[in-house]
Amino acid sequence: MARVKAVLRRTQGSPGGDPAPPPPALIVGDLWLDPAARAVTLAGQPISLTSREFDLLAFLMRHVNQVFTREQLLDQVWGFTFAGDLSTVTVHIRRLREKIERDAATPTLLQTVWGVGYRLSGERKGA
């Protein structure tokens, strides 16, 4: 029930009819994400992401340095109704690394915490 209410809150805006203010931009190092425009730049260069890659990156940028299991990422980004398997998260992480890391083979931003899951490492800056 709480998930349904949260979705309704996001789609209907704030009570009283006033539009909700746009969410602030998320900045971690040279990575900049604007949730309202669904735009991402790395060191000033635009990055083209799929919708799911964007959602995954936005979630991780909101929770910098926090480790999430693949199950948690499936639940938070794909939603509890997703019927796929855990390898979906692994594939999306790999594709995201190819787009945001200088060297995807030795990632510094999107890190694997062996035996646990993934985290976006860095220092979050104010917008």
**Between helices 51-62 and 87-100, what is the axis angle to 10°?**
80
Residue 86 lies in a domain: yes
* 15-74 pLDDT, tens digit each: 555 666 777 889 998 999 999 999 999 999 999 999 999 999 999 999 999 999 999 999
Structure tokens at 102: 């200088």
Residue 17 lies in a domain: no
Structure tokens at 51: 């919708």
pTM (2 d.p.) = 0.79
84 vs 102: CA distance, rounded Å = 30
**Domain tally, the chain:** 1
- Type of residue at 95: R
CATH code at position 53 = 1.10.10.10
Query: In sequence order, what are the beta bridge partners of 120?
Result: 110
